[in-house]
Every structure is written in structure tokens, then in C-alpha cells.
Structure 1
Amino acid sequence: MFTLKTKNSKNKTLMKIQKILFICLISSFTFATSNLFAQDSTAVKPQGPWKKEGKIGANLSNVGLVNWAGGGTSSYSFGGTFIYKLSRETDNAITRIHTDMAYGMINQSESTFPMKKTDDQLIIGFDYSYKWKKKFLFTAAIDFRSQFDKGYEYKTEDIPDPSDPSKTIKQETETQISAFMAPGYLNANIGITYTPAKWIYATYSPVANRMTFVADTVFSEKYGLNAGEKFRDQTGMNFKLGIKKEIVKNVALTSTYNMFAQYDRLGEWVVNWDLLIDMKVNNWLSCNFGTQLIYDPDVQVNKDDNTTGQAIQFKHALNIGIVYTLHQKKDKKEKKK
């Protein structure tokens, strides 16, 4: 009985801490929003215009095989990306809003399930940084992540041959493992940002909140929730390291490394690392190579050895296609004037 009371007391204390930290988060975002839209008559200069950056990309590939002795499968794939950023800097603060979307599919005509998803990403973020000292800022940030479409896992299994039960044949199976808002993540952080140079920054957030949404309870346990639950709230700390630099002419490197740990589980870190190398061929042709590494101890991954458990998730994509840069031409003309 004594042990049970101790656990309940500990849980109540953690709940109180979470409520206090959540109030701090709401208060900070309220302060950031009020500063963003308020008119300050004592400012040295008025708020500058919003700086706009955007890219729309499309890529397509096709492989056709007819009587090909080397074997293989005819296929075609297509994909699209949309990246848009807004930023504004004043004497006292920096405001940024960004959207990153991607979707891609491949068609393999000889497969049991010919249409398969190859890319699916939806990211929307906002951050407000108040200038404290030369290289230090107070930062409040919020980030939403999910996907547009259902996600499936494909496996090839041996089944009895209908024409000869003593033999087996290969059959592809399809199992749904995700969907829009299953999962969905909403991260809110308050901390201090250090910027030693324009191309690199590091943010430590002692107040961080990570919310997990699972719209379809079929996937609740897969993404760290209890059976039947649709929402999970975690309070802890967050560390973020960002790099954006042109390493050589027309070749830019962007890297974002993020770590989150719940306060009562500090030994278990959730890691998300995005890396993108963008190579500009000319004004309308682009090539980029991107990777994403995720480790979440609460997510149950179906591994290649047919077991389920914790695992490092890794994705890479090489895209060559047409890209349209928004606002670029207009900005150049304005500079000439």
C-alpha cells in the first residue's frame, strides 16, 4: 500500500510540473505574438518587410524493359516538393515561418500492388527569437509534422501454389502502418539560441513539450500510446543544431539535428536528423540529395528480420528535376532599381 501511494504522489507531482511548464509555454507564445504585431513607437526603425523564399519542384523518371535478358521491372515514378519560408528581422527580434511539403509515388506494373508511396512529408513551423545579446537570443518555437496519405508496408511471402499444393509461390502482401495524423507531432519549445556565425545556430530548450496524435487507434501502440488512446503529452528538454551554408558555388548544405528527452526518462532520447544537399544546375534545373534519420524509443518498427521493436529509421532520396523559384526574379529587379 505504501508503494502505491508513493507512485501516485510522484505521478501527481509530474502532472503539476507539466501544467506549470505548459502555462509557461502559452505565456511565452502570447508574449511573442503580441510583440510580433504590436507597433513600437520607440523603435529605432520600423519593422522591415517580410523576406520571402519559395521553391516548387517536380521530378519524373521512367524505366522500360522489353525482352530484357538481364531482368528487371518496368516502372515510372513521380514526385513533387513545395518549400516556402517567411522571415522578418527588426532591431529586437527575428520571426520565421516555414512550410516543407513533399509527395512521391512509383508504379511497378508487374507488382501485385503497382502504385507505392515513396515520399510523404508535411512540416509547418514558426519561431520567434528576441535578441538578448550579440550572439544570444531567447527563442519560442512550435513545429507540426505529419503526412498526407496512408502508408503501407510490403512483404513477399511464400504461399501454397493453387495448381500444385506441394509447391509454393511468392505473393506480395500489403499492410497499412500509418495515415494522416497517425501519427502527427506538435512540438513547442522555449529556450536560448546561440549563433556563433550566420550559417550555424544551436538552441537549448529546458522547457519543451511534445504532443503525439494518432487519429486511428489501430496504430496507437505502434507509436507509443496505450491501446485505444489518440493523444499523448510529454514534457522535457530539447536541443537543436542547425546549419545552412553554401559549401561551394551553387551547392548548399542544410542540416537540422534535433533531440528531445522527457524529464522522467532522460536516458531515452528522441532523435530526428534532416540533411539536404541542394545543387543548382541552372535557373530551372536542380539536383538534390536528402537523408532523414529518426530514432524514437516509443515507436515499434517492423524490422527486416520479421521482429518488431526499437530501431534506427533511415530514409534517403536523390531527386533531379524541374524547380521554380518563387520571388527570385522580383527581388533581383528591385535590387537593380
Structure 2
Amino acid sequence: MRFIISTLGVLLFIITTSNVSKAQDSTDVATPKLWKHEGKFGLNFSNVGLVNWAGGGESSYSFGGIQTYKGVRETDKAITRIYTDLAYGLINQSNSTFPMKKTDDRLNLGADYSYKLNKKFLVTASGDFRTQFDKGYEYKTEEINGVKIETENQISAFFAPAYLNLNIGLTYTPKDYLFLTLSPIANRMTFVTDTVFSEKYGLEPQQTFRDQSGVNIKFGFDKEVVKNVTLKTTYNMFAEYTRMDEWIVNWDFLIDMKVNKYLSCNFSTQLIYDPDVTVDRNDGTTGQAVQFKHALNIGVVYSFATSDK
């Protein structure tokens, strides 16, 4: 029920403010109505080959792809944004029992509508969806009778888990590249299509859906700090009203360096802390923990940026 109410509230807000903005725009023929588009498609590949190598190691090759897109429409009264962030990568290790392993996998979609109160403050309705394309596995190596055996255990899949967040709040933008949004009306929904993973991601046994109402705080920075080097980071926090002492954190960080028109290098990190998610820690125990991932990619990238009337 809370999910339905929140969804209807967000939709009503977007429709109402959109209609107000359109009415005001129709009386101001001098206001340009533009959609600005930007994005990139990238592919990367690496290979390590070892033959009679005294220093040890393992032959491997890896490849991956990324796709990002952002569309922005701004008028005197409102800003509308839509965006996607997709990535997938694999590595092949020739001497492994399970040679092909996933290294990157994300499917992020989002949109937001902001009504301008003045130059720095906006009322914002936003939604974002996160999941992954493929199954995820955890690998362990155990020694049995002097023989090392690698095991594979599935821990995730497409829509297991998936997260949908709907927020209404106030955004402060002191600079074009900097924002802070406080959303006292926020819904976080967790989907797990396979009940095998229900308890792992904070749901009750055999439960496939969880709805949480609370408060959301989001900070963002996106700027070319030096020529051809862009720093982008988003820090997101959510707490359920009944558990304000426990915050769910998701922090994305990216440094993108453009070598030339078609070559690019980027370094990205992602930090997640969710008190409801159990993970197998490095020390062999199971429980709450900070999840961290980093990746360095060098490859061929096609970038585009357009604006249409």
C-alpha cells in the first residue's frame, strides 16, 4: 500500500508541475525548449599470456563493454533528466575450474523532474532502478586430501536483487556541477524473483518484495576538473523511518580521462553498505560488511553530445 501511495504521489507531482511548466512556457515564446543528449559506448580488452614463466602467474584475457546516456531538457521553470548506466565484463582464467568469471555487471536506469523555486533551490521528484544482467557467483578454493578444489556458489541473478527508489524532496544547487537533495518522502523497494536469495538481501523467507518508507539524502558532483579529465561522484543515503539509526549507503566514484577522440581511460569505485544484506567476509565469517569494488578500464570509446530543438 505504501508503494502504491508513493508511486501515485510521485506521478501526480510530475504531472502537476509539468502542466504548470508547460502553461508558463506557452506564454513565453522566447524560452528555448531543448533536449541535450550526451553519452558513450565503450569496449575494452586485455590479455596476459605466460609460457614457462619462472615468476609464476596465470594466463588470462578479459573483455567488457559500457554504455552511458544522459538526456536533459531545461526551461526557465523546470529541468527534466533521464539517464542510463550499463556495464558488463568477463575474464577467462585458463587454469581455473570455472574459467569464465564475471567482473562487472550493472543495469542502472533513472529519471528526475525538478521545478525551480529560484536559481539554487528546486523541488525534485526522482526515480531510479538498479539490478544486473547476469547471474553472480562466489568462488572458493578448498584443500581436500592435499588437492585444491575450486567451488562455485550462485549468490545473485537478474532481478535478484533489484532496487527501485522513488523520492520527492528539495534540491540545492550552489553550482551547475554540484547538488544536494534531501527527500523526506522516499520509498525503497527491493525485488528478489528467486526466493533462494530472499534472506540474503533482507527479505523474509519466501518473500519476493519489500517496501520501505523513509528519508533519502543524495549528493552529486560532475565536472571536468582539468582538460579531458572528468570527476563524477554520487553519494546516496537512505534510512527507514522506523530505523533511523541504520543507513543504507551507495557511493559511486568515477575519474574519466579522455586520451583522444576514440581512446579513453577511466577508474571507478563503488562502495555499498546495507545492514540487511549478509555477505561472506574475507575472514571467513558471514554478516554485515562494507562492500567495495574498483575497476580500471582502457579501451575504445565513442562519445556523442547533441542538442535538438
Q: Does TM, scored on the shorter chain, surpass 0.5?
A: yes
**Structure 1, gaps ≥5 residues long:** 1-14, 161-167
5 Å-filtered alignment, 1:281-292, equals 281-292=259-270
Q: Which of 172, 180, 205 is equivalent to 1:194?
A: 172
TM-score, normalised with respect to structure 1:
0.87
The aligned counterpart of 1:93 is 78
**Structure 2, gaps ≥5 residues long:** none
Q: Which of 203, 206, 230 is equivalent to 1:228?
A: 206
Q: CA offset at residue 26 of structure 1?
A: 3.7
Q: CA offset at residue 109 of structure 1?
A: 0.7
Q: Which of 250, 253, 257 is equivalent to 1:279?
A: 257
CA distance in 1, matches of 2:21, 2:106: 28
Structure 2 residue 132 is matched with structure 1 residue 147: yes
5 Å-filtered alignment, 1:1-337, equals 21=6, 23-32=8-17, 34=19, 40-160=25-145, 168-327=146-305
- 8 Å Cα contact 1:105-1:115 kept in structure 2: yes
Q: CA offset at residue 21 of structure 1?
A: 4.9
Q: CA offset at residue 134 of structure 1?
A: 1.8
The two structures, once aligned, show a CA RMSD in angstroms of: 1.9
- 8 Å Cα contact 2:43-2:301 kept in structure 1: yes
Q: CA offset at residue 22 of structure 1?
A: 5.2
Q: Which has the larger radius of gyration?
A: 1
What whole-Å deviation, never above 9, does each CA across 1:280-336 have from its counterpart, x for those lacking one? 1100000000000000000011111221110000000000111001246xx7xx9xx
- 8 Å Cα contact 2:6-2:166 kept in structure 1: no
- Going by fraction, where is strand more abundant, 1 or 2? 2
CA distance in 2, matches of 1:307, 1:38: 59
Tell me, what secondary structure is at the counterpart of 2:12?
A: helix
* Amino acid paired to 1:98: Y
CA distance in 2, matches of 1:178, 1:38: 47
Tell me, what secondary structure is at the counterpart of 1:50?
A: strand
- 8 Å Cα contact 2:90-2:101 kept in structure 1: yes
Q: How many residues are paired up? A: 308
Residues 238/321 of structure 1: CA separation in 2 closer, same or farther (3 Å cut): same
CA distance in 2, matches of 1:260, 1:158: 42
- 8 Å Cα contact 1:44-1:91 kept in structure 2: no
- Going by fraction, where is helix more abundant, 1 or 2? 1
